[in-house]
Structures are given as structure tokens and as C-alpha cells.
Amino acid sequence: MRVTIVGGGLAGSEAAWQAASRGVPVVLHEMRPVRPTAVHKTDRLAELVCSNSFRGDKLDNAVGLLKEEMRRLGSLVMRAAEASRVPAGAALAVDRELFASIVTREVGDHPLITIVRDEITAIPESSESQPVIVATGPLTSDALSADIARLVGGAHLYFYDAISPIVLAETIDRRKVFRASRWGRSLRSSPGALALQACGVDDGEGDYLNCPLTREEYDCFYDALVSAESATVHDFDKEKFFEGCLPIEVMAHRGRDTLRFGPMKPVGLIDPRTGREPYAAVQLRQDNLAGDHFSLVGFQTQIKWGEQARVLRLIPGLEQAEFVRFGMVHRNTYVNGPTVLAETWQVRARPSLFFAGQMSGVEGYVESAASGLLAGLNAAALASGGRVSAPPRTTAIGALAYYVSHANPAHYEPSNITFGILQPLAGAPRGKKHRNEALSTRALADLESWMADREGARPALVEGRTRT
């Protein structure tokens, strides 16, 4: 009895923890640092390659629900995120170094987990008692990608995403920006209270720095953006960008106001100097615990680095900004989930093989870890003669599994979790917030029933250590 996992990212680390916590020995293969990727910078497990945000953390928000379900299922990723949390309004953002260190230490110290640092170039042999989970992420190495393509045929796809720049905090002009969370939704301020303090004072209210733009400033920025030179010449109509992660210049090409309704939307942000919402705004989010790095929220871009500096310095407050990291384009490798996978994250044609994480056709850190969690649970069940299953579609984690395995394969796109993919609620209350809260209440109750049902069908949980 053993589970072999390929890839020690968010999905692979979570899967390893879940399987080992059920008493099943795990061998985890991670190719870094022996073979680096184009984006990872360290040899740590669960390294966050871009944003430090796990997104919304409230139950009126689908990713907040998914996180709560993961906590209830004993997620290591969620525990490490909590222990490395940095201020981010109503979102859960982390100190990326601390986060990855905690995951690396917990997985490395687990007596049932062996970490092997090597590149796996072909999908390992698998059987019911020795299942395999492939969780090699969007940057799966070429040799393994080729073998996966052989297994899944023409359904093996790839496309491009783009990532946001990070600036050095001390180079932001604090006289021009103001500190506030949208609608005043700070974890540290009272709900509903607008953060109106002058910026430059770390008053604990409002977790974002906001760069307000007047109409003239916005027009000037827009014109520079649409005429800036891209690092790679992409045909915006033909390239398959993930809609939730579009480069700003791609959005800008869709219309002069598109950004003002997207990453530059000013709604809910009151500039304390005018008492009004600005014409447009750029939000900067703290990116590390030290507070010396801020990322430009939603500002993924593929503009050439020199050009990026020139264009982004047109944003008020960023005139002298120094860039710790520029935005860039990256590859994303994933399988066509509905063609290849079952709800349990097993390959339909080979049930002793699982795909998990971004590679399985989900999108995002939380979704990747969630799929690893379920794949780890099911691989452990299979190895130990138990029953594999997926939570019901009324839960966020079950809905994600259902989406990946049942969406239309002809138009398949990786998805973030949304309430729209949960099973609808009969007699839902009026109003989005109430409806979402009711969906969350039902989801958590149904998850508890599923867990109780599963309890009877699996070996007892081996207590994981909670040292963080």
C-alpha cells in the first residue's frame, strides 16, 4: 500500500498530507531544485508563483466557502495560510516565504512521507494498492507533458496566462495614494466602516493602497498602455487567455472604459482628500509580511519590461516606483477534464491514476489545493481498500469536481470556483448576499454529512501534527 505523487506544489503537497494523515505511506517526487521551472524561485514545496492572495475569505463568496470546506477537511494548505496571513481586507493573503516554509516543513517532517527530488519523465506505473497522482501544475516538464499527451490524446491542451508586477513600498508616493479597502471591508476595521484616514499613517484601517486617477490621468495612462510594445506579439482574438486573468493591455484593447469596470474600478473607494470616488483607481496589495512589497491588483501584463516601467509610472503615486518583479506571460498546461476525469479526480480510463491541481483543469491556488485534497483522500481510500467518492454538488469542493468532470468538453476552460457551478437552491432567498449565504449554510451541512458517511468507510485518521 503506497501513494506516489508527482509534483510538490499546492495540489501535490495537500494530497500527500491527506493520504499520509490516513495512514497511507506516500512518495512525493518534486523536480526542483534538480530541474527548475521558468517561474518558481525556490526549492520549497507549495511555492506561490505570483499573487500572494488566496482571495475572498467570507462565506458570501464562493472561494471563501471552498476554503472553509477545506479547513473542515483538515487542509494543510489552509492551516499554513492561516499561520502566515498578512492584512488584505476581506481576502486571505499570505507571506509567501513563510507559507511555503510551513508546508515544506510539515510535509518533510511527516513520518509517512518520503520526498524525492527528481524529474519524473513518464507517468509511473499504478495499481489499486499503489495509485499515482500527477500534480505537476501549469509548468509540467516537457518530457512528462509529452507522456500525458500520449495518454489523453488530443484533449491535452495548453494556453497562456499573464502575471502582475510588484513594486517596492518605499518607492510609492504616499502623499498621492490613500489606504482603504473597497466598501471598507477590512478584517481589522468594523464591518461597513469606511476607512477615511489620510494615507502615510499606518492606522490599521484599510488594507490596500489606492492610486486615484482623474479623467485626464486615466486617458493619458490608457493611451500609453494601448500603444506600448508587448514582449510577445499575441493575436488577442486567437490566443486562449483565461478570462479571469486577462493582461491589462488585452482588456484595454476591448474599449477605453473596460479597465474602469475591471481592475481600475473605483466603486466603494472614497478618496479622503476629495470625499468622492475617483474616476479610476489602481489598488496595491501588501505582498509580504514585512510590508515592503506591494503588488498591483489585477494588473497582469505582457508589456516589455522597459515599457512596463514607463507606462505604470504614469499612475499617480507610482511616478518613482521601483519594480521588484515585472508582469509576464506564462504557459499553462492542463488536460480536458470532462474528457479525461471522473468526479473523484481519477482518470476514467485508468482509475488507479489521478490528476490534481492546475493540470487537472482547475484554475487558482485554492482550487488546485482543493483538488489535491480530494485526490489525496481518494487515492488513500483506494490504496487501503476503501471506497472512493466525491462530496455532493451542493458543496463547493463537490461542485468543482463535478464541473471538471462534466462541463462541455468542446468548450472546456479551467474554472475558478463560483456559486454558479453549485447545485441551485430550491426556494432561494431574494438578494445575492442572502442567496449566497444560504448556499454556504447548505454546503457546510452537506459536507458534514458526507464526511460522517465517509468516516465509516475509511481507516481512522492518523493524527497530523499541528506545529506551525
Ligand X SMILES: Cc1cc2nc3c(=O)[nH]c(=O)nc-3n(C[C@H](O)[C@H](O)[C@H](O)COP(=O)(O)OP(=O)(O)OC[C@H]3O[C@@H](n4cnc5c(N)ncnc54)[C@H](O)[C@@H]3O)c2cc1C
Contact call for residue 30 and ligand X (CB under 6 A): yes
Amino acid sitting at position 373: L
* 11 lies in the site for ligand X, by CB under 6 A: yes
**Nearer Cβ to ligand X (354/450):** 354
Regarding 6 and contact with ligand X (CB under 6 A), the answer is yes
Minimum Å distance from CB 358 to ligand X?
4
Cis peptide before 33 (omega within 30 of 0): yes
Rule CB under 6 A: which of 277-306 touch ligand X? Answer: none
Q: What residues contact residue 426 under an 8 Å CB cut-off, 6+ apart?
A: none
Quick check: helix, strand or coil at residue 167? strand
Stretch that binds ligand X, among 75-83, 234-242, 353-361, 449-457 (CB under 6 A): 353-361
Instruction: Name the strand (E) or helix (H) holding 335.
Output: strand 328-335
Count of all residues that appear for the chain in the document: 468
The residue count for binding ligand X (CB under 6 A) is: 36
Helix axes 10-21, 96-109, angle to 10 degrees: 30
Partners of 346 in the β-ladder: 354
In the list 3, 4, 5, 7, the residue contacting ligand X (rule: CB under 6 A) is 7
CB nearer to ligand X: give 136 or 394: 136
Interface residue with ligand X among 10, 282, 303, 321 (CB under 6 A) is: 10
Cell 484616514, residue located:
197
Of 28, 80, 3, 18, nearest in space to 365 by CA = 80
Instruction: Please identify which residue in 64, 298, 364, 376 interacts with ligand X, judged by CB under 6 A.
Output: 364
CA atoms within 13 A on the CB side of 192: 0
Scan residues 142-181 and list those touching ligand X (CB under 6 A).
Answer: 144, 161, 163
Q: Rounded to whole angstroms, how far apart are CA atoms 423 and 358? A: 23
Residue 359 sits in the site that holds ligand X (CB under 6 A) = yes
Options 29, 67, 96, 285; binder of ligand X; rule CB under 6 A: 29
Residue 213 touches ligand X, criterion: CB under 6 A: no
Say if CB 148 and CB 6 are below 8 A apart. no
First-to-final CA distance of the chain = 29
Q: How far is the CB of 136 from ligand X (least distance, A)?
A: 4
Nearer to ligand X, 116 or 224 (CB): 116
Give the nearer residue to ligand X in terms of CB position, either 45 or 252.
45
- Alpha-carbon gap, residue 359 to 437, rounded angstroms: 31
Residue of the chain from 135, 167, 169, 375 that contacts ligand X (CB under 6 A):
135
49 binds ligand X (CB under 6 A): yes
| Cα within 13 Å of Cα(459), Cβ side | 20
> Nearer Cβ to ligand X, position 131 or 138?
138
**Binding segment for ligand X among 131-139, 173-181, 268-276, 405-413 (CB under 6 A)?**
131-139
Positions in the binding site for ligand X (CB under 6 A):
6-12, 29-32, 37, 39-40, 49-51, 119-120, 135-141, 144, 161, 163, 330, 357-359, 364-365, 368
